[in-house]
Each structure stands twice: as structure tokens, then as C-alpha cells.
A and B are shown apart, each in its own frame.
Chain A
Amino acid sequence: MSQMHQPTALSTCPSCEEPLESGDLFCGACGYDLSAVPPPPDDHPTIVMNGAPGTAPSGGVAWPAAAEADSTATPAPVQVPGELPGLDSTGVPLSGHTAGGHRAAPPVPSAAPVAPVAPTGDFELPAPAPAVGAGAPPSVPHVTDHPSAEPPDLADPRTVAPPVPAGTKLCVACRAGHVDTDGYCENCGHAQPRERDHVEQELDAVAAVSDRGLRHHRNEDAFAVSSAALPDGSPAVIAIVCDGVSSATRPDEASAAASAAANEVLLAALPRGTHPQQAMHEAIVAAAEAVNVLAGPPGQSGDQEPAHRAQNAPACTIVGAVVVSGLLVIGWVGDSRAYWVPDDRTGSPARLTEDDSWAAQMVAAGLMNEAEAYADERAHAITGWLGADAYELEPHTASFKPDRPGVVVVCTDGLWNYAESPQEMARVLPPDAAGRPLRAAQVLVGHALDGGGHDNVTVALLPFAVPRHGAGSDRA
């Protein structure tokens, strides 16, 4: 989470190729910020427990009983990514899901097609895909062979950290002044990198990276990643990503509060046996409340904010993903997205969320085609968000039951603006993303920065593996 500084591994600036000297915090030629960068990935990348062979809990992963009898009696609708349309939390199909455009339904997987389970139907898991079931190693290159010899072109441009002598607080901009208690250089006045400017976190089965980008002065995105145990002891992995609405006041606080609140609710609900989809719904509601609370009484805030945003209550978007054995649950409000990218890239990637945005609404209403809608300057105006001035909170949740291993990309528009279609996202996601999620998340952030970094960039990656011994096969 905190920034770590390690000796530089590269000899040139990742931005302009200017040779670097060890100790450089900024590139001398282009000023590239080399300071708040993560160390190169660990030499022993963690192999996700549900994505690698032989790591599944012995005895197989049984779907918890909670699935059939969750706290609200909402059955868990499940689908394969190939039939992407999710269901919202009331079981109603999401709008705009007629096949068409670039989101045409991918071909039905050959190995183990899984039919969507009817809401009232039995909750059966499909037979595992033969390859996985047989324990064949998934394609995870660069696992242990030459971890330190990472090709530079794959690197997040900022993965180079020069050493910083402990205890000194020298300005990263002018290198002449010391940093004052209020965070500015006593010599040149420049703001110092803040902790949130670049944040990384990696757990066993999830990794996330958030970056300020190149055009915004602060990072208004936030994320939370965690893992919990279901009542039966099987793991659940959680990732929440929020994007503060810049036109509102204190968007950075909104995103931080929302991601923390949603994560907390999921961490509490999942071990109790709440169905993940219901838990996700509750998490989004709790996140909305956490953001609402930030809007103090009128006139209390905003003196330091420009007038045009002072009257707007804090607001943010949210997208969350929960991976439990064999099931993927997505929830969102706003235009932050989740994508599915199968490990075997011959399968079709897919977008799992439907933006609450002007463009998406226009397309859904049939008033414009996607190209026209996204070309409009209003395209990115969001129509749903968390915050006190939201019209009505409509948390969208959806469950998927992928039949093959893959990676869930949970991200803000700071990333998907540079890889909008699932195909583009799949192209920029490194092939070994499942095995090295942090590394892959860094690469995705680097892709957005290379594209201009016009917005804050945040991405969380959750490798998904089909359980080796699912409940379905147990019952079969």
C-alpha cells in the first residue's frame, strides 16, 4: 500500500528514454515522476489459490449452503460470460442486452457450456473444464524462471524507484528545499507526492493499483481489496473500485468512504453466509450511505472549493466484484466497469457492467448507436452515482458463472477510456495476469498513462478459476 522505494532497475526514463542516475526521483529531461512508484514485483509471484493447479483446497470447494437459501431468499441467477447479460438484484435482466455491436455474444465454450440456471432452479455447478479438472497447469509464463529480468517494455512506466535516504524530506521537484509540515517545498513551493497519488495493494488472489494520472492534481479514485472466508471455509475475494465525481466537492473523500464501507459490509456479510449477490447489493447501499454522510449541512463545506462545485454534495461511482468458488458477482453504480478476460485468449472477453451514463442510456433507448453516443460530449455524463444528491440509488448487481479460468478487470474510466472494448482490454491485459495480478494491474495503469493519463486510473484484478471439484461434480 505504502510507497516503497527501491534502487532503480532501469537506466532510462520510462517516458522519454533519458538516462537516469541512481537517486533520481524525477526524470531530469521530462520531469517524469519516478518517486511514488512501486518496487518491481516480488521474485516469487503469488499464485492465486483459485487460479493455479494444486492449490485448491483439498476435498474440493463446495458451494456454501447459503447459496440456496440466502438471507433474502433471492435465488442466485448465474450465467456464463458467453451469455453476458447479467441480472440486476431483483433478477430482472439488465437493459440493452440484445446481442449487437461489439458486445456480440461470444461463442459458446466448447468444453463445458453452462446454461444459466433459472432463478428457481437448482443451483448446480457445471462439470469442470477438462483441462482444469485434470490439473493441467494454466498458462502462466514468467512465474519463476527469470523474474528479475522483466522486459522493460512490459513495465509500468513508474515501476522504477530510486533510493530515498531515510529521514530526509527533500523536495522531489527542486531537490533543493526541504518539505514543510504542510506538505509543500520550503524552497519552490511544489506540492509533494501524496500517499494516494499512487497506491498498490496485493493479496493472495487480488491486486489493485491506483494512480493520480498525468493531468489531475490529486487522486480522486479509491479502491479496497480483501479476502474473507465463507462459512464452509472456502475463500471469497473482494475488490471495490470507486471514482470520485470531480464536479462535486471532496470527491476524494467520497471514493475513499464508499470503497471502505462497501468492503466492510462484504467482509461482514460473506462469512455469515449471505449470498454474495445480496451482500453486494447491501454493500453498495452502505457505500451510498457513507457518501451521503459526507455531505454536511449546507454552508458547512465548500469555502475552499471553487463556486461551481461548492454546491454539489460529495459523490462517486462504485464497481465491485466478489469471486467465490465458481461464482463471480459484480455490482456497480455509475460508469466504473468490470471486464471478463479469459485466460485462454481464444475465448471472448466481455464487459460485465452497463454504465449509468448518458451514452449508455441513449444506446439503450435506441436513440443513437454506440459510435454516435460516445462521440457526443455528453457521453461521459453519468446518470447514476453515490451521493446525497443522487436522484435514486439503483444498485446493479449481476452474477456470472464462468466456465473457464480468466481475470476480472475492475476499473475506473481512467483506464477504460484507453481500452474501451473488451477486445482492447484483453489485448492490453498481460497474458500472465492470472498468475501475476499486481504486475498486470501495473501494466494496465501504465497503458492509461501512456495514453495520456487524463484521469485518475484505478484497476483491480481478480483471477478467477473454475473450482477443481465443484459442488456440481460432487453431486453428479
Chain B
Amino acid sequence: MANFSKSTVPQFSVEVYQNEYLPEGGREVNAIVTVTSTGGGTTGRRSLTGAPAATALPGQGPNAAVVIMVDCSGSMDYPPTKMRNARDATSAAIDTLRDGVAFAVVAGTHVAKEVYPGNGALAVADAATRAEAKNALRRLSAGGGTAIGTWLGLADRLLASADVSIRHGILLTDGRNEHETPEDLKAALDACAGRFTCDARGVGTDWVVKEVTGIASAMLGTADIVADPAGLAADFTEMMENAMGKEVADVALRLWTPVGVEIKFVKQVAPTVEELTERRTQANTRAGDYPTGSWGDESRDYHVCVQVPEAGVGQEMLAARVSLILPAADGTSQVLSQGLVRAVWTDDMVASTSINPQVAHYTGQAELAQVIQQGLEARKSGDFDGATAKLGRAVQLAADSGNADTAKLLSKVVDVVDAATGTVRLKAKVADADEMTLETRSTKTVRVKK
């Protein structure tokens, strides 16, 4: 392991799960890469290695800034509890801010307005600023449209004013992004991606799942539904706690591949399915970086699939080298940890035909997310046969892999006749909240049963 000079950087470990054995003529190599970081902030502000994390040092503020974006469009007043709950949730989130964290609150409509501190900068959390901020929330009132791109733009400007390494946003919306074009939103996301991370939440059922999940995906944050506004406070508190746990930002997954090896896909598969293949930036001639955002104490799994050139039985090659990279201010980068994906050609059929359990599991989880989305899409477009087939397959996969949460969500959309064979009937009447919950959470995966 590398010796980290900065105690704030968690220890990263990389484990590779694969069946490296290929039959004669075999070319596709699959591997699950488990990345675990420990020693970050979520262990009670103390690193697991015993050295105190920087956040705990007196006189030195935490290395983080957070901007909360609250939807204040006119629809937030229908019902009025929605605005009240959003205010309470923001208040709860502010209470969760650690001392020293830079923060701001933005009210979002068709334009973005600073609510607190309001001078184009960020406040530093302490007892006084937290009280001021909560006071300022009283001024929040509903009225106007929704243009999320402008909210993100303001959040970016505010976050950029702080000299911190962790920059995070929390975005709450209740409606359709209808006062700017989708292109505007995309442009804003492109501009902000990589500059800060952002969690997105939809409250109620009048928002568009694809918009919210799209924002979270682009900003390397989480997306979820809070169907009942009363649940907002708990959700905001949890999001803020997660944000406070982040200790290192801008970590990239670097994939080195030798000449002749083609990358078929790279995706995060746990805790959620996140396609990364197209988000590669070339690091050097043989390696590319995929963004992973910021890390606290956590573990994520990635599925890497590459195609190697043919080689004879008995040959061995390195198909890919997976490393976690932390860019430094001076343009260099630090390798946090790395793992090897190998290919070994054998004429032992038992070895070459066995499928690694991790690879099989996550292949199933990725398919699960896909068939749920396809099934709901088919249902919306009136293709009930297609929807039944896709959602039936989803029920089967969820039951197979022990993904109980997803199975439960599915059972609110379809009547399960036989989970093992995937025999289901579409429910005649499905609550909007249930359908949106299933769609939003379709990418959540479970880990391999041990």
C-alpha cells in the first residue's frame, strides 16, 4: 500500500473478482472490481488508522462546502405542507452541518436566488450561522417557475468561492423542469460535472424521474423519491451526514489496457448501476479515467468488460490494470490502490467455463435495472404484453439475487404469480408514487450473497 502523507485521504483497497481462464479462442474478459475506502470521515471523525482526521483538528475547518437548493416554485404550495416540509428539511440538514463547513442556501424557481448568507459567498457553520440560516428560511415562499440549470449554476459559483476539496450540492425539486429547455439543463450539467457532486431528490409525484436521476448521475450523487413531504427532514439529514462523511473528492477509476485490448464497458454496479463507459477521459496513451466523485468510508463495485486479442493455450496476459487515482493540485496524480485483471488461456474446460459468482451476480443486477426501466416504459406506452414480460423477468431476477427491496417495489406494480419463473400480471391500478419509486430506485443493487 502507498504511504499517504495526508491523513485525510482514506486508505483505498482494490479487489478483483474474475475468472481469468479463457478457452482457446476466448476473448472476453469480465471482472468485478471492488473498491473500498476506509479511514474517511464517517468513523466518528477519527480515521481507522488511529491518526486523527483533519476535520477533528482544532483551528482548522473541515475541508468541505455544501449548497442546499430548495425548489420554491409555485407548485410547492400545493399542498402547502410541501413548502413547510421543505423548509423543515432544510433546517434539519443545516443542523447536521459540522462546525467549520462552508454552506449556503439557494431558493430555486425560474431563477436562482441566494437565501443565505446572500453576499455571493458561503457562510462557515457554527452555532450562530446555523441559527441565522434557519431564520432566513422563513423568507422562503412559493412562487414562480422551475429552471434547475440556473440553480446549479449559482451553486457552482458559490462553491467555487471556497477553497475546499469536497464540494457538494443537495437539490430538491417537486416539479418538471419546464422553464428552460432540456438543452439548457444539459449545458448546465456539463458545466458543473466534476466541479461538485450533487444529490437530487424529487418530492411528491409531479416531477420527472429521468430529470432527477439524470442530474444525480451527471453530478455523481444519489437520486431518490420522497413521495411524502413529511419524510423530507429525515432524508435531508441522511444526505447531509453522507456529505459530511466524504473525505476525498475527484477520485477517478483509471483503466490501463494494453495494445489491442478493447474496452466493452465500464460501469459501477454497486450500490447502484451507473454506466461509465462514455465518461472516459484519456489519461495517457494506454489509460483512461472514469469519474467516481467523492468518497467517505464506503465500498463500491465496478464491472469491467474488455476484449483481448486471441492467444494460444498456456499464454497469460494482463487484460487491464485498474487503479484509483487522486489528482493533485500540481497536475500530477496519486495512485491510491490498484488491481490486475488477467487473461489466461487454458484447455481445462472446467476452469474456462466456470463463471465468477460476482460477475454473474452483477450481470443479473444490471439486467434487473434495465428490464425494470424497459418494463415501465412499455407500460406507459400501452405495450402491456411487453411490460408484463420485462417486469416478470425483473421479478425473477430480483428473487434470484435476493434483492428484496426491489422485489418489494415490483410487487406494488405487478401481481407476482410465480417469482421463480417470472410469471406476473400487471396491476390494474398502480399509485404514481409506487411507479416512480420503482423507476427511481431501479438501479439499486445488492451485493453477492456470501
11 residue pairs from A and B, CB less than 8 Å apart: A176-B259, A182-B321, A185-B318, A187-B258, A189-B308, A190-B311, A190-B316, A190-B318, A191-B315, A246-B348, A306-B356
Known: A184-B318, A303-B15. A215 touches B258 (CB 8 A): no
The contact of A188 among B21, B314, B317, B348, by CB within 8 Å, is B317
Q: Are B260 and A212 in contact (CB under 8 A)?
A: no
Q: Is A143 an interface residue (CB 8 A)?
A: no
Q: Is B19 an interface residue (CB 8 A)?
A: yes
The contact of B316 among A176, A177, A182, A217, by CB within 8 Å, is A217
User: In whole angstroms, how far apart are the Cα atoms of A185 and B19 in the complex?
Assistant: 21
Q: Is B86 an interface residue (CB 8 A)?
A: no
Q: Is A213 an interface residue (CB 8 A)?
A: yes
Give the residues in chain A near B15, CB-CB below 8 Å: 303
Give the residues in chain B near A212, CB-CB below 8 Å: 314
Q: How many Å from the CB of B182 to the closest CB on chain A?
A: 42
Q: How many Å from the CB of B227 to the closest CB on chain A?
A: 41
Q: How many Å from the CB of B21 to the closest CB on chain A?
A: 6
Main secondary structure of the interface of A (DSSP, over half): loop
Q: Are B258 and A189 in contact (CB under 8 A)?
A: yes
Give the residues in chain B near A166, CB-CB below 8 Å: none
Known: A188-B260, A306-B21, A307-B357. A217 touches B318 (CB 8 A): no
User: In whole angstroms, how far apart are the Cα atoms of A255 and B127 in the complex?
Assistant: 67
Q: How many Å from the CB of B332 to the closest CB on chain A?
A: 19
Known: A212-B314, A217-B314. A307 touches B356 (CB 8 A): yes
Q: Are A306 and B351 in contact (CB under 8 A)?
A: yes
Q: Is A308 an interface residue (CB 8 A)?
A: yes
Q: Is B17 an interface residue (CB 8 A)?
A: yes
The contact of A189 among B319, B344, B350, by CB within 8 Å, is B319
User: In whole angstroms, how far apart are the Cα atoms of A89 and B341 in the complex?
Assistant: 48
Q: Which residue of A lies closest to B19 (CB)?
A: A306
Q: How many Å from the CB of B285 to the closest CB on chain A?
A: 10
Q: Which residue of B lies closest to A213 (CB)?
A: B314
Residues from 3 to 20 in B contacting A, C-beta threshold 8 Å: 15-17, 19-20
Residues from 160 to 215 in A contacting B, C-beta threshold 8 Å: 174, 176-177, 182, 184-191, 212-215
Q: Are B350 and A188 in contact (CB under 8 A)?
A: no
Q: Are B313 and A188 in contact (CB under 8 A)?
A: no
Give the residues in chain A near B344, CB-CB below 8 Å: 217
Q: How many Å from the CB of B410 to the closest CB on chain A?
A: 29
Q: Which residues of B contact A (CB under 8 A)?
A: 15-17, 19-21, 257-261, 286, 308, 311-319, 321, 340, 344-348, 350-351, 354, 356-357
Give the residues in chain B near A142, CB-CB below 8 Å: none
* Best-surrounded residue of B17, B261, B340, B356 (most CB of chain A within 10 A): B340
Give the residues in chain B near A309, CB-CB below 8 Å: 351
User: In whole angstroms, how far apart are the Cα atoms of A149 and B175 in the complex?
Assistant: 89
Give the residues in chain A near B321, CB-CB below 8 Å: 182, 184
Q: Are B351 and A308 in contact (CB under 8 A)?
A: yes
Q: Is A216 an interface residue (CB 8 A)?
A: yes
Q: Are A303 and B17 in contact (CB under 8 A)?
A: yes
User: In whole angstroms, how far apart are the Cα atoms of A214 and B311 in the complex?
Assistant: 13
Q: Are A191 and B357 in contact (CB under 8 A)?
A: no
Q: How many Å from the CB of A381 to the closest CB on chain B?
A: 13
Give the residues in chain A near B346, CB-CB below 8 Å: 215-217
Q: Are A182 and B313 in contact (CB under 8 A)?
A: no
Q: How many Å from the CB of B210 to the closest CB on chain A?
A: 38
Q: Which residue of A lies closest to B18 (CB)?
A: A304
Give the residues in chain A near B308, CB-CB below 8 Å: 189
User: In whole angstroms, how far apart are the Cα atoms of A424 and B356 in the complex?
Assistant: 43
Give the residues in chain B near A218, CB-CB below 8 Å: 316
The contact of A215 among B21, B311, B347, B350, by CB within 8 Å, is B347
Q: How many Å from the CB of B338 to the closest CB on chain A?
A: 9
User: In whole angstroms, how far apart are the Cα atoms of A307 and B344 in the complex?
Assistant: 15
User: In whole angstroms, how far apart are the Cα atoms of A218 and B314 in the complex?
Assistant: 8
Give the residues in chain B near A185, CB-CB below 8 Å: 258, 318
User: In whole angstroms, how far apart are the Cα atoms of A186 and B285 in the complex?
Assistant: 11
Give the residues in chain B near A182, CB-CB below 8 Å: 318, 321, 340
Q: Which residue of A lies closest to B24 (CB)?
A: A215
Give the residues in chain A near B17, CB-CB below 8 Å: 303
Known: A187-B258, A187-B259, A303-B15. A217 touches B286 (CB 8 A): no
Q: Are A308 and B354 in contact (CB under 8 A)?
A: yes
Give the residues in chain B near A187, CB-CB below 8 Å: 258-259, 286
Q: How many Å from the CB of A218 to the closest CB on chain B?
A: 8
Q: Are A217 and B259 in contact (CB under 8 A)?
A: no
Q: How many Å from the CB of B350 to the closest CB on chain A?
A: 6
Known: A212-B314, A306-B19, A308-B351. A217 touches B258 (CB 8 A): no
Give the residues in chain A near B316, CB-CB below 8 Å: 190-191, 217-218
Known A-B contacts: A189-B257, A217-B315, A307-B356. Give 5 more (CB < 8 A). Answer: A188-B258, A190-B316, A217-B344, A303-B17, A304-B16
User: In whole angstroms, how far apart are the Cα atoms of A218 and B346 in the complex?
Assistant: 11
Give the residues in chain B near A176, CB-CB below 8 Å: 259
Give the residues in chain B near A247, CB-CB below 8 Å: 350
Q: How many Å from the CB of B178 to the closest CB on chain A?
A: 51
Q: Are B314 and A215 in contact (CB under 8 A)?
A: yes
User: In whole angstroms, how far apart are the Cα atoms of A306 and B350 in the complex?
Assistant: 10
Give the residues in chain B near A454, CB-CB below 8 Å: 347
Give the residues in chain A near B19, CB-CB below 8 Å: 306
User: In whole angstroms, how far apart are the Cα atoms of A212 and B313 in the complex?
Assistant: 12
Give the residues in chain B near A191, CB-CB below 8 Å: 315-318
5 A-B pairs with least C-beta separation? A189-B258, A184-B318, A191-B316, A189-B318, A217-B316
Q: Which residue of A lies closest to B260 (CB)?
A: A188
* Best-surrounded residue of A185, A189, A308, A454 (most CB of chain B within 10 A): A189
Q: How many Å from the CB of B301 to the closest CB on chain A?
A: 14
User: In whole angstroms, how far apart are the Cα atoms of A185 and B259 in the complex?
Assistant: 10
Q: Are A188 and B259 in contact (CB under 8 A)?
A: yes
Give the residues in chain A near B354, CB-CB below 8 Å: 306-308
Q: Are B313 and A215 in contact (CB under 8 A)?
A: yes
Q: How many Å from the CB of A172 to the closest CB on chain B?
A: 12
Q: Which residue of B lies closest to A192 (CB)?
A: B316
The contact of A214 among B259, B314, B318, by CB within 8 Å, is B314
Residues from 430 to 473 in A contacting B, C-beta threshold 8 Å: 454
Give the residues in chain A near B21, CB-CB below 8 Å: 306
Contact with B along A298-321 (1 / 0, CB 8 A): 000001101111000000000000
User: In whole angstroms, how far apart are the Cα atoms of A212 and B347 in the complex?
Assistant: 15
Q: How many Å from the CB of B63 to the closest CB on chain A?
A: 32
User: In whole angstroms, how far apart are the Cα atoms of A62 and B400 in the complex?
Assistant: 74
User: In whole angstroms, how far apart are the Cα atoms of A184 and B319 in the complex?
Assistant: 10
* Best-surrounded residue of A174, A213, A303, A306 (most CB of chain B within 10 A): A306
